Amino acid sequence: MTAPPDDCLARNEWICGEYLSTRREILLDAVGQHLQLTALSVLIGLAVAVPLAVLARRWALTAGPVLAVTTVLYTIPSLAMFSLLLPVYGLSAALVVAGLVLYSLTLLVRNLLAGLRAVPEETRQAARGMGYGPIRLLLTVELPLALPAAMAGLRIATVSAVSLATVGAIVGFGGLGNLIYAGMNTYFKAQVLTASVLCVVIAVAADLLLLGVQWLITPWTRAKRG
C-alpha cells in the first residue's frame, strides 16, 4: 500500500501546476473545441447577417421584422435556446453552433444596419454621380464605410460566443465548459478555475485580434489623426 502523492492535485487546490502538466492534452482538446465552436458560429452568423442587414437597409419595410425577430432570439436564455434546438439537431456540436449563430445574429445585424445607415447621403449621391451601380455602391462604398460599426458588433458577438459556448456542456459540446461541468461534479477546483481562466483569456485574445484586424482593414480611420 503506497501513500497517495502529496501534491496540489491530491490537496485539491485552486491553482495547480501539476494539473497543467498532467492534463495538457485534455485542456488543449477543450480549447480546440471551444475555438472551433466559436469561430464557426461567428462566421456563419456573419454570412447570414450581412445579407439580412443589406436587405433591411434597402427595403425599409423589412427592417422592423428583421430587428424584431433577432431581438426576440436574443432575449431567449442560452440554456433554453440550446434545449429548443434539441429536437432538430439532437445531442451534437451542430446544436451548439446553431444556438450561437442565432445569438450573434442580433448583435451583427444591429451593428451592420447602424453602420449602413450612418453612411452620409452625400457620399452615396457622389458615388451615384460617378456612375456607380447599386451593387458597386454597396460593395465599394457602403460596406467599407460601415466597417467600424460592423467590427464593433463582431467583437461583441465573438466575446459573447466564447462565453456562451460553455453552456454547450449540457449537450456535451461546450469546449472548456465540458471541463467546468465535469469539474463541478467531481469538486475538482483546479480544473474549474483553469478552464474558466482559459475562457476569459480566449475572449480577450479574440477581442484584441479583431481590434488588430479592424486597425488593418480600416486605414482611413487613422489617417485623419496622423
Give the three-class secondary structure for 160. Answer: helix
| CB of 81 vs another protein, minimal distance in Å | 8
Q: Angle at Cα 51 formed by Cα 148 and Cα 77, nearest 5°?
A: 80
Instruction: Give the total residue count for the chain.
Output: 226
Q: Which helix (H) or strand (E) holds 157?
A: helix 143-164
| CB of 100 vs another protein, minimal distance in Å | 13
How many CB atoms are located within 10 Å of the residue 170 CB?
19
Pick from 17, 20, 58, 75 the residue near another protein by CB under 8 A: 75
| CB of 144 vs another protein, minimal distance in Å | 26
State the virtual CA torsion across 147, 152, 153, 155 in degrees, nearest 10: 120
Nearest to 175 by CA among 101, 99, 93: 93
| CB of 11 vs another protein, minimal distance in Å | 14
Interface region with another protein, contact rule CB under 8 A, candidates 16-24, 50-58, 71-79, 210-218:
71-79
Measured between alpha carbons, how far is 182 from 69 in angstroms, rounded to an integer? 35
Which residue, 116 or 164, is less far from another protein as judged by CB? 164
For the window 186-205, what string marks contact with another protein as x by the rule CB under 8 A?
Answer: -x-x--xx-xx--xx--xx-
Which residue, 204 or 213, is less far from another protein as judged by CB? 204
How far is Cα of residue 226 from the mean position of the Cα atoms in its chain?
Answer: 32
Q: Does 180 bind another protein (CB under 8 A)?
A: yes
| CB of 225 vs another protein, minimal distance in Å | 20
| CB of 77 vs another protein, minimal distance in Å | 4
For the window 140-169, what string marks contact with another protein as x by the rule CB under 8 A?
Answer: ----------------x--xx-xxx-xx-x
Measured between alpha carbons, how far is 121 from 118 in angstroms, rounded to an integer? 9
Nearest to 97 by CA among 181, 151, 34: 34
Chain positions contacting another protein, by CB under 8 A: 72, 75-81, 83-84, 86-87, 156, 159-160, 162-164, 166-167, 169-171, 177, 180-181, 183-184, 187, 189, 192-193, 195-196, 199-200, 203-204, 207
